[in-house]
């Protein structure tokens, strides 16, 4: 099941005060797959035949039997007599698609699509970058071109390394586990924060199973990690400090320079996840004194499946993938030349336009928030009011459920998130929101993230129909 269906299931269960069990999910999964294959919903005999669910069991598990199952997973039914409404049903004039989930991913820019078409149409870029043929040399040169361009964008020192990976999560795993495995015999202590992306958190938790120790620093209510909090956590055997540059959910930007100073006072490597910050705000790895930095392409209108890890000269890590000598002997496997090239192009375009986009998106975001306050005066802003990404607007609607708002907006073509995209399909409070102590008992949290293709007309479309959505949801 996709995450939209999962979100609907969680909302329906919540509305009908049903605690979801594994049996609920087993039956719903079967019904979803059956409908996808046969284009009709399964009847009671099918449920008994394939998942041994009797009519009595289904009627006990679901408030309105088959009607509930169909409604929960989105199978069309002729009557809504027994249905619940997790989303508002409103009529819109001149419907349009408004994408406001750029922190989750971005569309490919037209320039990159055209370059990739030319790349593949030429049919002379397929050489193995490690081979000694002319085709191999051409591929190798394209990769080095990309490496140089990205290095220049972040002002990487000459002897540092840019390692291309299969995505941001791999780059994060490479940095954290690479440092840990280089210290495997003596183990050691890792410091990170409670608001990191799951790629960081789960990497550290995995290392804890292997005997490493860890601390997860708490932010303040705005999502800021303070240097004195880090200072208090330092231990003699600390091997790594990892603090994200900008938070993917609430948009807060941390002062990495001050945090790195604390780590380097004890000669501890300092790593950052710059996924949301790369080419959205200026990054100078020398000025910030960063040792390792992970970032990737699909947040800047380039393809998914390609990322990078910056490694400062003098920092040693163990590779996770063994084989050939590619990527400075740190990441074996024939490089994805096309996507590496596209990554560089996306970086160059985003960097060239960064200052203009910072101003444009900040103004558009502020306009949006002022309009939201007019619609719903009790709305709250999550994250730091000033030290935040220009495109991020994470808000709380008092008296509403985030899942209901998300599904209602989706019905009129407005695409947003109620948390991190990697945790979509659940209505549980995100770990970031919890760590910041934000009230979710009374507030439905929605993340609007703007981007390159967002216009004032898009924002006005949301503003036009949001009051009707909130009014209908209030009456449920």
Element (H, E) at 389: none
Q: List the catalytic residue out of 84, 279, 422, 436.
A: 422
The answer to whether the CB of 346 falls within 8 A of the CB of 109 is yes
The answer to whether the CB of 46 falls within 8 A of the CB of 35 is no
Distance from CA of residue 236 to its chain's centroid?
33
Residue 466: pLDDT band with limits 50, 70, 90: very high
In the block, tokens 């291309």 appear at 164
CA distances from 457 to 71, 453, 461 (A): 33, 11, 6
Rounded-to-integer distance, Cα 32 and Cα 34, Å: 5
Radius of gyration of the chain (CA): 24
CATH code for residues 110-350: 3.40.640.10
Residue 84: pLDDT band with limits 50, 70, 90: low
Active site residue 84: no
Q: Single out the residue of 104, 38, 428, 403 nearest to residue 276, CA to CA.
A: 104
Residue 154's SS3 state is coil
The answer to whether the CB of 271 falls within 8 A of the CB of 175 is yes
Residue 272's SS3 state is strand
Element (H, E) at 99: strand 98-99
Rounded-to-integer distance, Cα 238 and Cα 267, Å: 9
Q: CB neighbours (10 Å) of residue 87? A: 22
* pTM score, whole prediction: 0.85
First to last CA, the chain: 27
Q: Domain ranges for the chain, please list them.
A: 1-81, 110-350
The answer to whether the CB of 67 falls within 8 A of the CB of 43 is no
The answer to whether the CB of 417 falls within 8 A of the CB of 451 is no
Rounded-to-integer distance, Cα 118 and Cα 115, Å: 5
Q: Where are the alpha helices (DSSP H) in 183-305?
A: 198-209, 227-233, 256-265, 285-288
The answer to whether the CB of 20 falls within 8 A of the CB of 11 is no
- The reported pLDDT for the residue numbered 85 is 62
The answer to whether the CB of 238 falls within 8 A of the CB of 257 is no
Residue 15: pLDDT band with limits 50, 70, 90: confident
Element (H, E) at 171: helix 168-182
Mean pLDDT of the chain: 93
- Per residue in 129-181, pLDDT tens? 999 999 999 999 999 999 999 999 999 999 999 999 999 999 999 999 999 99
Between residues 177 and 473, the one the model is more confident about? 177
Rounded-to-integer distance, Cα 85 and Cα 12, Å: 8
460 contact partners, CB below 8 Å, separation of at least 6: none
Summarize the confidence of residues 193-211 as an average pLDDT.
97
Tokens of 191: 């410091």
- Per residue in 313-364, pLDDT tens? 999 999 999 999 999 999 999 999 999 999 999 999 999 999 999 999 999 9
The CATH fold of domain 1-81: Arc Repressor Mutant, subunit A (1.10.10)
pLDDT exceeds cutoff 90 at 416: yes
Q: Single out the residue of 89, 138, 104, 73 nearest to residue 335, CA to CA.
A: 138
pLDDT exceeds cutoff 60 at 80: no
In the block, tokens 């939201």 appear at 372
Residue 423: pLDDT band with limits 50, 70, 90: very low
Rounded-to-integer distance, Cα 298 and Cα 171, Å: 14
Helix pair angle (134-153, 337-375), 10° resolution:
30
Altogether, the residues listed in the chain come to a count of 476
Rounded-to-integer distance, Cα 368 and Cα 462, Å: 9
Using CB atoms within 10 A of its CB, is residue 333 exposed (0-12), middle (13-18) or buried (19+)? middle
- Per residue in 364-408, pLDDT tens? 999 999 999 999 999 999 999 999 999 999 999 999 988 889 989
- Per residue in 17-51, pLDDT tens? 889 999 999 999 999 998 888 877 888 888 999 99
Summarize the confidence of residues 420-444 as an average pLDDT.
73
Percent of the chain with pLDDT over 70: 96
Percent of the chain with pLDDT over 90: 80
Beta strand 189-193 with 380-382 is unpaired
């Amino acid at each position: 099941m996709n995450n939209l269906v999962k979100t609907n299931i969680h909302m329906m269960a919540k509305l009908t005060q049903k605690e979801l069990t594994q049996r609920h999910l087993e039956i719903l999964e079967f019904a979803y797959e059956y409908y996808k294959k046969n284009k009709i919903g399964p009847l009671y005999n099918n449920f008994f035949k394939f998942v041994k669910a009797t009519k009595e069991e289904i009627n006990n598990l679901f408030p309105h039997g088959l009607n509930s199952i169909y409604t929960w997973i989105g199978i069309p039914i002729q009557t809504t007599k027994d249905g619940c409404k997790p989303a508002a049903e409103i009529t819109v004039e001149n419907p349009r698609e408004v994408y406001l989930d750029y922190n989750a991913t971005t569309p490919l820019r037209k320039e990159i699509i055209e370059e990739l078409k030319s790349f593949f149409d030429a049919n002379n870029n397929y050489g193995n970058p490690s081979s000694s043929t002319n085709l191999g040399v051409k591929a190798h040169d394209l990769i080095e071109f990309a490496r140089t361009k990205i290095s220049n964008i972040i002002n990487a020192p000459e002897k540092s390394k840019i390692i291309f990976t299969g995505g941001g999560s791999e780059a994060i795993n490479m940095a954290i586990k690479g440092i840990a495995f280089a210290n495997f015999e003596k183990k050691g202590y890792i410091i990170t924060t409670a608001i990191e992306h799951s790629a960081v958190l789960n990497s550290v938790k995995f290392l804890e199973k292997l005997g490493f120790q860890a601390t997860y620093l708490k932010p303040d209510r705005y999502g800021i990690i303070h240097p004195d909090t880090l200072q208090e956590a330092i231990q003699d055997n600390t091997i790594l400090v990892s603090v994200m540059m900008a938070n993917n959910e609430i948009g807060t930007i941390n002062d990495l320079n001050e945090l790195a100073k604390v780590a380097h006072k004890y000669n501890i490597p300092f790593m950052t996840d710059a996924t949301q910050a790369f080419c959205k705000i200026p990054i100078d790895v020398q000025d910030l004194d960063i040792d390792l930095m992970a970032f990737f392409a699909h947040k800047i209108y380039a393809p998914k499946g390609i990322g990078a890890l910056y490694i400062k000269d003098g920092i040693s890590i163990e590779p996770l993938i063994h084989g050939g000598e590619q990527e400075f002997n740190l990441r074996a496997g024939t490089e994805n030349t096309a996507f590496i090239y596209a990554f560089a192009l996306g970086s160059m375009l985003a960097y060239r336009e960064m200052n203009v986009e910072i101003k444009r998106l900040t103004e558009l975001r502020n306009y949006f928030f002022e309009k939201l306050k007019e619609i719903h005066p009790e709305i709250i802003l999550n994250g730091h009011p000033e030290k935040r990404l220009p495109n991020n607007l994470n808000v709380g609607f008092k008296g509403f459920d985030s899942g209901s708002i998300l599904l209602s907006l989706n019905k009129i073509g407005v695409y947003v998130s109620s948390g991190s995209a990697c945790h979509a399909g659940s209505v549980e409070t995100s770990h970031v929101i919890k760590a910041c102590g934000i009230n979710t008992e009374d507030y439905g949290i929605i993340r609007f993230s703007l981007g390159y293709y967002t216009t004032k007309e898009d924002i006005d479309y949301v503003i036009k129909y949001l009051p009707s959505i909130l009014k209908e949801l209030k009456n449920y």
